């Protein structure tokens, strides 16, 4: 049986890879090769740490839990249009610098286009 930390890392990876569909708690412990008791203990521990959300679901006539990772996979596609990528001031832009991401309107609008009317 893998060491405790390795087991937790593997469990979190399984839950993360399940993505937005989540994974039934029973599927997680079967994939891990642990008992239902150990699987439940891990799921509870992850929930307490805020790494996982457990949602009660009815599956094949029985109540169980579905696990959803609070960590999301990020793709390069998600930052494709980020203005920083082509910004001429990138190498001078830092918190506390002359130009800063904290006060950058371009970045703010890219993150939340709904603010377009409130930023001039
Ligand atoms: S935060 Fe603004 S100023 Fe800074 S690198 Fe990004 S786009 Fe350029």
- List pLDDT tens digits, range 17-47: 999 999 999 999 999 999 999 999 999 999 9
Tokens of 13: 């990876």
Within a domain: 120: no
Chain segment 81-99, per-residue pLDDT in tens = 999 999 999 999 999 888 9
Report d(CA 119, CA 107) in Å as an integer: 12
Q: In this structure, are residues 27 and 59 in contact, taking their beta carbons and an 8 Å threshold?
A: no
Q: Report the SS3 class of residue 66.
A: strand
Q: Is residue 42 part of a domain?
A: yes
Cα 91 from Cα 110, distance rounded (Å): 19
- Cite the DSSP H helix spans in 1-120: 4-17, 25-32, 36-49, 105-111
Is residue 90 situated within a structural domain? yes
Q: Are residues 11 and 37 in the same domain?
A: yes
Atom of ligand 1 lying closest to residue 87 CA: 8
Q: How many domains does the chain have?
A: 2
Residues 58 and 90 in one domain: no
Which structure tokens are listed for 103?
């006060």
Q: What is the pTM of this model?
A: 0.60
How much distance in Å is there from the Cα of 70 to the middle of ligand 1? 28
Closest atom of ligand 1 to 110 CA is 7
């Amino acid at each position: 049986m893998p060491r405790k930390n390795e087991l937790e890392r593997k469990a979190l990876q399984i839950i993360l890879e399940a993505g937005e569909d989540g994974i039934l708690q029973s599927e997680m412990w079967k994939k891990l090769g642990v008992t239902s008791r150990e699987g439940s203990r891990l799921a509870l521990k992850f929930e307490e740490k805020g790494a996982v959300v457990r949602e009660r679901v009815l599956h094949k006539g029985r109540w169980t839990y579905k696990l959803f990772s609070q960590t999301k996979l990020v793709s390069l596609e998600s930052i494709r249009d980020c203005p920083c990528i082509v910004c001429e001031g990138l190498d001078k832009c830092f918190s506390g610098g002359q130009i800063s991401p904290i006060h950058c309107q371009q970045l703010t609008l890219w993150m939340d286009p709904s603010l377009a009317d409130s930023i001039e």
